[in-house]
Each structure stands twice: as C-alpha cells, then as structure tokens.
C-alpha cells in the first residue's frame, strides 16, 4: 500500500484496489473493523475519482455495508446498503446476488429496529429477485437462499404482529361456541 501511494498518490484507482484487497483479506479473517476501514478508504478514493455508476463503487458500498453489519454497526450499514440499493435501481448492477444479500441484511436491520412490515417487504423483494433470477444454481447462491428463508422465519409472518403504524389486531376473547349436536362415543 505504501509503495502504491508513493508511486500513484492517495487518489488513484489502483490504490483503491489495494484497499479493497486488504479489506477482503481482513474480512476473510473476520476482522471486520479493519476490513471496514479499508473498504471505506477505497470508497473514498473512488468517490473522488469515479462515477457513482462504476460497478466498483457500488460493490464497495455493498461490501462496506455488509462488513459494518457484521461488526455490529447497523446504522452505518443501513446508510451504505440503502445507497447501494438506490444506485443499483438507477444504474443497474451485474451482481444481482449482492442486491439480494443487501436486501436481506436491510430486512434484518428493519426487524431489529422493530419495523416488521419493512423487514417483511425487504425480504420479499430479496426472495422475488432470487427466484426470478434463478440464483439457486450454485452452492454459494444456495446458502443465500437458505439465509433468506431463515430470515423470513425470524422476521415472522403478518400474524406475528403489526409493523409500526399498523393497527393492533385484537383476538376475540369469547369462548368458542359449542355444538348443540351430541356426538356419539
């Protein structure tokens, strides 16, 4: 990294690539703080030198958000993943599996914040994209599908309770009606 900075300066795409490589190395070792630091440095360089539609820029938003989520920083993770989703929806993005994973993480963040409805909506979008793009063909993508199913179970169905702003459903407290017909034993 020092050699690249010396040769190219701090604002070169190749220096950003070194930060990304280091971020991946730290992430593989589950050292998420350091991984996030390098992904953030790479993102800063690409913000200064590139276009928001650059796939590397969008990938770094996704990687930074995912890493921050794993490191327990849901608020900053949400900011980066929301931005990733917004740019993906405007410019497109070739790695749809990253979009599915981002929506799954955003669903988990919404659920943890108590927004059941928002969580369900994000997970359903992720499941629909996953199904429509036929992403279950590789073992890595199958694990994403399994995570989606687990997350949906964790978030629960609409019967589990309303999301924020939804009216509370009251269950009838009356006793069940008994049949007037006698049953034979």
| Residue 155: burial class (beta carbons within 10 Å; 0-12, 13-18, 19+) | buried
Enclosing H/E stretch for 41:
helix 32-49
Q: How many CB atoms lie within 10 A of CB 49?
A: 14
Q: Indicate whether 63 pLDDT > 70.
A: yes
How much is the pLDDT for 138? 64
Q: Are 112 and 74 in contact (CB under 8 A)?
A: yes
Closest by Cα among 175, 153, 155 to 163:
155
Mean pLDDT, rounded, for 13-40: 91
Q: Are 74 and 95 in contact (CB under 8 A)?
A: no
- The answer to whether 81 and 61 have CB atoms below 8 angstroms apart is yes
pLDDT score for 169: 45
| Whether the predicted pLDDT of 163 surpasses 90 | no
pLDDT at 181 over 60: no
Mean pLDDT of 110-128: 93
């Amino acid at each position: 990294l020092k050699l690249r900075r010396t040769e190219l300066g701090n604002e070169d795409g190749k220096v950003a690539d070194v930060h990304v490589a280091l971020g991946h190395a730290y992430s593989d070792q589950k050292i998420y703080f350091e991984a996030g630091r390098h992904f953030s440095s790479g993102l800063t360089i690409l913000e200064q030198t590139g276009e928001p539609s650059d796939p590397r820029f969008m990938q770094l938003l996704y990687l930074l958000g995912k890493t921050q989520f794993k490191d327990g920083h849901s608020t900053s993770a949400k900011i980066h993943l929301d931005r990733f989703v917004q740019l993906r929806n405007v410019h497109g993005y070739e790695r749809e599996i990253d979009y599915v994973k981002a929506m799954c993480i955003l669903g988990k963040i919404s659920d943890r914040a108590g927004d059941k409805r928002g969580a369900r909506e994000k997970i359903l979008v992720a499941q629909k994209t996953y199904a429509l793009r036929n992403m279950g063909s590789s073992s890595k993508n199958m694990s994403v599908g399994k995570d989606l199913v687990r997350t949906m179970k964790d978030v629960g169905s609409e019967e589990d309770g309303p999301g924020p702003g939804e009216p509370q459903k009251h269950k009838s407290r009356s006793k069940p009606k008994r049949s007037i017909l006698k049953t034979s034993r």
